[in-house]
């Protein structure tokens, strides 16, 4: 079990001791998608959803989620985030909203969970704001795309 950092030698859950680690600038980028009916996507793009600005509200929800990650993920460290950005790329051809979260911190541990949490909650908020018109939406492809900083080095999904 020595490779699993969130467990002690008895197999019990622990919060990793990051005290000895170096403070470095760290970045994590995560992506996700929400598949929907073409008419639902057009409703978003025209700004005509009954609940309001779907992308604006979802962006705020994602930023808030990144800040709340240690309250949601039991062994995540609370971090003083430097920045959280959420970007949207509508894709009419596939009838999707592509979501990217980019999170930065200067700390002793990374922000992968913050980026993944931000993307997840952003996608969930899109669903919530549009479920009355399209219950068949699918949240998919949530994944870490890049991380940098720290001892494990730079990761970029190919």
- Provide the token pair at 152: 């494990």
Give the 3-state secondary structure of residue 21: coil
Give the residue-averaged pLDDT of 131-139: 97
Q: Which residue has the higher pLDDT, 136 or 18?
A: 136
- Give the CA count within 13 Å in the CB-facing half-sphere of 136: 7
- Angle, helices 54-72 vs 112-130, to 10°: value is 140
The pLDDT, as a whole number, for residue 8 is 81
Which are the catalytic amino acids?
128
DSSP secondary structure letter of residue 13: B
What would the two tokens of residue 89 be? Answer: 């790329």
pLDDT at 4: 60
Query: Which 3 state secondary structure label does DSSP give 156?
Result: strand
- Reported confidence tier of residue 2, pLDDT bands at 50, 70, 90: very low
Give the chain's domains with CATH numbers: 24-149 (3.30.70.640)
pLDDT at 23: 93
Looking at the predicted structure, is the pLDDT value of residue 1 above 60? no
- The rounded distance, in Å, linking the Cα atoms of 140 and 35 is 8
* In contact, 87 and 31? CB cutoff 8 Å: no
């Amino acid at each position: 079990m020595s490779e699993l950092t969130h467990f002690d030698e008895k197999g019990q859950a622990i919060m990793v001791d990051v005290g000895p680690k170096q403070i470095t600038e760290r970045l994590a980028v995560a992506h996700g998608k929400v598949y929907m009916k073409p008419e639902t996507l057009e409703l978003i793009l025209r700004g005509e959803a009954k609940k309001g600005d779907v992308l604006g509200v979802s962006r705020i929800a994602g930023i808030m989620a990144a800040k709340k990650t240690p309250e949601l993920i039991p062994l995540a460290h609370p971090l003083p985030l430097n920045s959280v950005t959420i970007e949207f790329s509508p894709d009419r051809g596939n009838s999707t909203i592509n979501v990217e979260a980019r999170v930065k911190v200067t700390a002793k541990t990374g922000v992968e969970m913050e980026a993944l949490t931000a993307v997840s909650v952003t996608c969930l908020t899109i669903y919530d704001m549009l479920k009355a018109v399209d219950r068949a939406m699918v949240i998919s492809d949530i994944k870490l795309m890049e991380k940098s900083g720290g001892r494990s080095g730079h990761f970029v999904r190919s």
